[in-house]
């Protein structure tokens, strides 16, 4: 963390402000503390020669935009697997998961992602890492976190036989009645989560959460100022989630036109998350489907449906959120894929690069509980800004992997980008 001067000024360059307005010439962006004070002409009370209090960044020949938001990024599970440990989604020990998550959070930030929404994890690891970042113990993105996903028998993340249930280290938490769900909402709320993640069936072919159960969770969560998100590929669960008033729906790929109309009427966004599918499909082609241990044909079908969903959502005026499912597996490493979804929005969803950027910045702020407060370079907004040496509107892929980043500013402070050179590669299995 560099010592923060009172005022930071970014001069010159091309500004993409996150509002969707065409990119334009930047004169001066003035940041005071953790907020943007002004954008445009340099205010008369800012003296660039005052070196002690004013730091100037010259972005001539570069592109300035809001920090990216990944609305779907897991931190506390996925990899590595450690020999001799209990079966789980990656390591099952909270101590190890916390350290791994802390390390990964720094990679995420250095990739230009200044906020993430974490829809599910192990223990209360993500709450701890969020707070460590907030308290200045370490660098990392703003984190908006859920706890273990609320599931019934047979839902995604109910992986053990019924006589085992969901062990404490699982990312799912079995609750087979509305009462049990409400109790779990209260327990997670007590431990400091920002939102509740519910999860219906894996593939969406059958509906495993009743509308009344979803409504019970929404009622309890909202009373406690917690948001609710749901993994819902299915048609029935998507309609039920819409009618029960969840805050956003993850996937929704099997939803029919009429289900989507129900979503549009209720007004919540959808978070398609096509990146994970595209990575699995690519990997399956490369190493063979058996290696990935995932049903590539099913993934391909979901992927194609998500492309159609993106078009339909736009017609119906449904806001789409941009997320990747980074960190849910060994092949979705932190820091690499956070901007891949924007490329998919452009390639398959009918979005222009500028529209994809708005979706991943201003429009994504709702998934981190900061709607209207972050995701735009405008006066009064939180000062999360990235600077690139290539134009992301000309080529949306330049946002990927942090390769074209020259600066990352989070909360008004510049982040040291150098340590990305020494990033550790996790071993899939420790010997």
Measured from the CB of residue 380, what is the shortest distance to Zn ion in angstroms? 32
Q: Which stretch binds Zn ion (CB under 5 A): 78-86, 136-144, 174-182, 320-328?
A: 320-328
Is there binding between residue 341 and Zn ion (CB under 5 A)?
Answer: no
Pure H helices in 191-324: 211-223, 235-244, 257-266, 275-287, 289-292, 296-316
Q: Which is nearer to Zn ion, 31 or 75 (CB)?
A: 75
Stretch binding Zn ion (CB under 5 A), from 23-31, 86-94, 327-335, 417-425: 327-335
- Pick from 327, 331, 325: nearest CA to 344: 325
| Burial degree of 15 (CB within 10 A; 0-12, 13-18, 19+) | buried
**Ramachandran angles phi, psi of 408, nearest 5°:** -130, 125
Q: Cβ 119 to Zn ion, closest distance in Å?
A: 6
**Minimum distance from residue 230 beta carbon to Zn ion (Å):** 12
Q: Which is nearer to Zn ion, 126 or 325 (CB)?
A: 325
Closest distance to Zn ion from the beta carbon of 330 (Å): 15
- Segment holding 44, helix H or strand E: none
**Dihedral sign, CA of 21, 22, 28, 30?**
positive
DSSP string for 402-415? GTTEEEEEETTEEP
- Give the residue with the Cβ less far from Zn ion, 63 or 79: 79
**Contact status: 325 vs Zn ion (CB under 5 A):** yes
Whole-number minimum distance, CB 166 to Zn ion, in Å? Answer: 16
- In the bound complex, what is the minimum distance in angstroms from residue 127's beta carbon to Zn ion? 17
CB of 324 to Zn ion, least distance (A): 9
- Nearest residue (CB) to Zn ion, 324 versus 361: 324
Return d(Cα 51, Cα 291) in angstroms, integer: 57
Binding-site size for Zn ion (CB under 5 A) equals 2
State the residue number with the nearest CB to Zn ion. 325
Stretch of 107-115, 315-323, 328-336, 415-423 contacting Zn ion, by CB under 5 A: 328-336
Question: With respect to Zn ion, which residue has the nearer C-beta, 63 or 77?
Answer: 77
Site string for Zn ion, 269-308 (x = CB under 5 A): ----------------------------------------
* Residue among 245, 102, 268, 123 at smallest CA distance from 192: 123
For residue 328, list its beta bridge partners: none
CA distances from 237 to 169, 179, 210, 251 (A): 26, 19, 8, 11
- The rounded distance, in Å, linking the Cα atoms of 70 and 116 is 5
- Interface region with Zn ion, contact rule CB under 5 A, candidates 207-215, 232-240, 318-326, 367-375: 318-326
Q: How many CA atoms lie within 13 A of 422 on its CB side?
A: 5
Q: Which is nearer to Zn ion, 106 or 275 (CB)?
A: 275
Binding site for Zn ion (CB under 5 A): 325, 328
């Amino acid at each position: 963390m560099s010592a923060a001067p009172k005022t930071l000024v970014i001069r010159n360059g091309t500004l993409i402000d996150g509002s969707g307005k065409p990119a334009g010439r930047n004169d001066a962006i003035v940041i005071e503390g953790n907020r943007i004070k002004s954008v445009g002409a340099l205010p008369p009370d800012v003296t660039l020669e005052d070196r002690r209090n004013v730091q100037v960044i010259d972005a001539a020949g570069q592109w300035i935009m809001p920090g990216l938001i990944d609305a779907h990024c897991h931190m506390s599970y996925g990899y590595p697997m450690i020999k001799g440990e209990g079966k789980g989604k990656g390591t099952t020990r909270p101590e190890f998961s916390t350290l791994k998550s802390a390390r990964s959070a720094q990679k995420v930030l250095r990739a230009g992602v200044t906020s993430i929404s974490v829809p599910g994890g192990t223990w209360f690891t993500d709450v701890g890492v969020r707070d460590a970042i907030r308290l200045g113990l370490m660098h990392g993105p703003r984190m908006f976190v859920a706890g273990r996903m609320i599931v019934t028998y047979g839902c995604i993340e109910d992986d053990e036989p019924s006589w085992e249930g969901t062990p404490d280290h699982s990312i799912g938490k079995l609750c087979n009645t509305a009462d049990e769900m409400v109790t779990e909402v209260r327990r997670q709320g007590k431990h400091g989560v920002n939102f509740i993640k519910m999860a219906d069936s894996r593939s969406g072919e059958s509906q495993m959460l009743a509308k009344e159960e979803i409504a019970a969770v929404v009622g309890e969560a909202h009373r406690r100022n917690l948001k609710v998100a749901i993994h819902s590929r299915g048609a029935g669960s998507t309609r039920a989630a819409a009618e029960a008033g969840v805050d956003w729906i993850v996937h929704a790929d099997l939803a029919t036109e009429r289900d989507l109309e129900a979503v549009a009427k209720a007004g919540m966004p959808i978070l398609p998350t096509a990146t994970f599918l595209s990575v699995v499909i690519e990997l399956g082609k490369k190493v063979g489907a058996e290696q990935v241990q995932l049903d590539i044909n099913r993934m391909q079908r979901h992927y194609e449906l998500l492309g159609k969903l993106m078009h339909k959502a736009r017609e119906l005026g449904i806001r789409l959120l941009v997320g990747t499912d980074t960190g849910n597996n060994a092949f979705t490493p932190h820091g690499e894929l956070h901007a891949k979804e924007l490329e998919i929005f452009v390639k398959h969803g009918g979005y222009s690069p500028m529209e994809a950027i708005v979706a991943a910045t201003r429009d994504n702020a709702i998934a981190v509980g900061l709607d209207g407060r972050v995701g735009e370079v405008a006066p009064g907004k939180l000062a999360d800004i990235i600077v690139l040496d290539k134009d992301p509107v000309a080529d949306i892929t330049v946002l990927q992997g942090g390769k074209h980043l020259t600066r990352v500013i989070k909360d008004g402070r510049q982040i040291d980008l150098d340590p990305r050179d020494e990033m550790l590669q996790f071993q899939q299995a420790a010997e």
